Amino acid sequence: MEEQEGTLPQKSDFSGWYNDILWRAEIMDVRYPVKGLYVWYPFGFSIRKRVYGILRELLDRDHEEALFPLLIPETEFMKEAEHIKGFEEEVYWVTHGGTTPLDVKLALRPTSETAIYPMYALWVRSHADLPIKIYQIVNSFRYETKHTRPLIRLREITSFKEAHTVHATWDEAENQVEDAIARYQEFYDRLNIPILISKRPDWDKFPGADYTIAVDTIMPDGRTLQIGTVHHLGDHFSKTYHVCYEDSKGEQQYCHQTCYGISERSIAALISMHGDDRGLILPPEVAPVQIVIVPVIMKKRETEINQAAELLAKELQDAGYRVKIDTRDMRPGAKYYYWEMKGVPLRLEIGPRDIDNGIVMAVLRTGGKESLPRSSIIPEVERKLKEQTDALLNRAENHIKDHLFMVNDASALPEKVLNGVAAIHWCKNRECADRIEEIADASVLGTDVRTSLIDLCTGNCIICGKPGSLVTLVGRSY
């Protein structure tokens, strides 16, 4: 990429910063010759691997991973009327095998309900087969006609984690919804990304769901990014695909289902929430390189310094850290710039004077230089990385607080949603919502908000003044 000059735009120019950091930090190459399709560089893929490793770890507690086909025959796809209405303009169709037209067109899954549930109909027989909790991590496809954006709005979603569960009753499915929300909360806690959980208004729920709970975060420019959804499907799909069980009285009952998904938007949020004007900042848990060691060479002690660096690296690796030594023939400053761009949490510098003094210089990516005693480097490094994690979370929470405004006066909405998300009171009446969206030039994102980042008091509807409304979020979303 040496031909692309210049520096990273400031993060305050978020759009420019985001586009630039993707290639400067080697996350994604946007030059693939089809709109909306991107290439994961090895470095980006390695972040992805760790992020999805956390997701797997959380789900594997009581879910099983499986894999269903990408191609869905039109006949199955078209069965659930509401669902297909939600997706029909977005589906890619395979129509030919070689030069032969196919008898039945095949859809590239936009999501896998219609691929999985015909199988569930075969798998579920009796109450004893329930619950089923299965997930898969797959590519899925949307023919997006809007402006596409790497990791955020794609035509090939490369990394869709979708879970699909089956239960005997509506209430058990509701419990699963709560369980999934808790799991997603845990996931984003691990990434130090504060989230806003809310119930999407009825007109914005998943096609075919009873209701949708969404996980949003607020991006640096104040717009929200949906980074997870959990759907209670009731028995809509089980009626269409005949997912039934025999109850204890020997009677056939329709199952109740849920599904919930997270895509590579989780990584868009990770990059955007934590990065700064100098590049990425990665939480240690998902950083491909957690510690970079830069030997500060003085010619006549070169061998000694390199050996000390290698010994240090070995000790840290043995303690389980992912470490690189940068011995390239470059100015130290250029090395610092390189590893800061890649978001490496901790840099350790080791030079002749450090060796003499029995210390190592530590520079945290979130800021601050400190000399650490070489003899207790393992606990010291652990402490420093913890310091970074805390700093990231603290910063991220402040960012959300700074962009989440309690608004009691409708006329203040336009200005507030330009800078972030408005928390208002709304009576859940559609007409009032339309009016809110019109005034704010933004969307009603959700009700029944769960967050500790704002006071969840009740109040009067911002439009009609009806009392007792819960907090509702209004904002511009990606």
246 touching its own copies, by CB under 8 A: no
Region from 28-36, 165-173, 279-287, 362-370 binding its own copies, contact rule CB under 8 A: 28-36
Q: In whole angstroms, what is the distance from residue 475 CA to residue 421 CA?
A: 5
Site string for its own copies, 129-168 (x = CB under 8 A): -----x---xx---x-x---------xx-x----------
* Smallest gap from residue 361 Cβ to its own copies (A): 30
One-character DSSP codes across 445-468:
EEEEEE-SSS----B--TTT--S-
Q: Which two tokens stand for residue 214?
A: 């969404």
Task: Please say which residue, 138 or 195, places its beta carbon nearer to its own copies.
Answer: 138
For its own copies, the closer of residues 37 and 406 by Cβ is 37
Q: Of the candidates 17, 118, 166, 228, which one interacts with its own copies according to CB under 8 A? A: 118
90 binds its own copies (CB under 8 A): yes
Asked if 96 interacts with its own copies (CB under 8 A), we say: yes
Using CB under 8 A as the binding rule, whether residue 297 contacts its own copies is answered as no
CA 339 → CA 16, 294, 329, 335, 343, distances in Å? 21, 10, 15, 6, 6
Q: What span, in angstroms and rounded, lies between the C-alpha atoms of 196 and 269?
A: 13
Helix spans in 328-442 (H):
332-341, 352-357, 377-402, 413-419, 430-440
Stretch that binds its own copies, among 89-97, 296-304, 372-380, 464-472 (CB under 8 A): 89-97
10, 15, 95, 458: which one binds its own copies (CB under 8 A)? 95
Shortest distance, position 122 Cβ to its own copies, whole Å: 6
The reply to whether 38 sits near its own copies by the rule CB under 8 A is: yes
User: Should residue 106 be labelled a site residue for its own copies when binding is judged by CB under 8 A?
Assistant: yes
Q: Near its own copies by CB under 8 A, which window of 86-94, 166-174, 203-211, 294-302?
A: 86-94
| Candidate segments 72-80, 233-241, 310-318, 367-375, binder of its own copies by CB under 8 A | 72-80
Residue whose tokens read 């690796």: 317
Amino acid at 45: F
Query: From the list 62, 82, 88, 302, which residue makes contact with its own copies (rule: CB under 8 A)?
Result: 88
User: How many other C-beta atoms can be found within 10 angstroms of the C-beta atom of residue 341?
Assistant: 18
Residue 112 or residue 229: which is nearer to its own copies going by CB? Answer: 112
Query: Which residue's CB is nearer to its own copies, number 39 or number 182?
Result: 39
Total Cβ atoms within 10 A of residue 87: 20
In Å, how far are 224, 452, 465 from 424, measured between CA atoms?
16, 16, 12
Nearer to its own copies, 39 or 456 (CB): 39
In this chain, which stretch among 61-69, 204-212, 403-411, 441-449 interacts with its own copies, using CB under 8 A? Answer: 61-69
Number of CB atoms found within 10 A of residue 378's CB:
14
Q: What is the C-alpha separation between 397 and 402, in angstroms, rounded?
A: 8
Strands (E), 219-334: 224-234, 244-246, 252-254, 256-262, 291-295, 323-325
Given the complex with its own copies, which of 134 and 362 has the nearer CB atom?
134
Counting every residue written for the chain, the total comes to 478
Tell me the two tokens of residue 370: 């400190």
Nearest distance in Å: CB 11, its own copies: 26
Q: Count residues near its own copies (CB under 8 A).
A: 57
At its nearest, how many Å lie between its own copies and the CB of residue 128?
Answer: 10
**Cis peptide upstream of residue 379 (ω within 30 degrees of 0):** no
* 328 contacts its own copies (rule: CB under 8 A): no
CB count in 10 Å sphere of residue 371: 14
Interface with its own copies (CB under 8 A), residue from 13, 20, 76, 370? 76
CA 33 to chain centre: 26
End-to-end CA distance of the chain: 29
**CB neighbours of 85 closer than 8 A, spacing ≥ 6?**
207
Q: Is residue 387 involved in binding its own copies (CB under 8 A)?
A: no
Q: Is 338 in the site for its own copies (CB under 8 A)?
A: no
Q: Is the CB of 29 or the CB of 387 nearer to its own copies? A: 29
Near its own copies by CB under 8 A, which window of 92-100, 207-215, 365-373, 462-470?
92-100
**54 touches its own copies (CB under 8 A):** no
**Residues 367/276, Cβ–Cβ less than 8 Å:** no
* Residue 329 found at the interface with its own copies (CB under 8 A): no
The DSSP output letter for 249 is: T
Nearer to its own copies, 100 or 411 (CB): 100
Q: Are the C-beta atoms of 110 and 91 separated by less than 8 Å? A: yes
Q: Which residues bind its own copies (CB under 8 A)?
A: 2-3, 29, 31-34, 37-42, 45-46, 48-49, 64-71, 73, 75-76, 88-100, 104, 106, 108, 115, 118-119, 122, 125, 134, 138-139, 143, 145, 155-156, 158
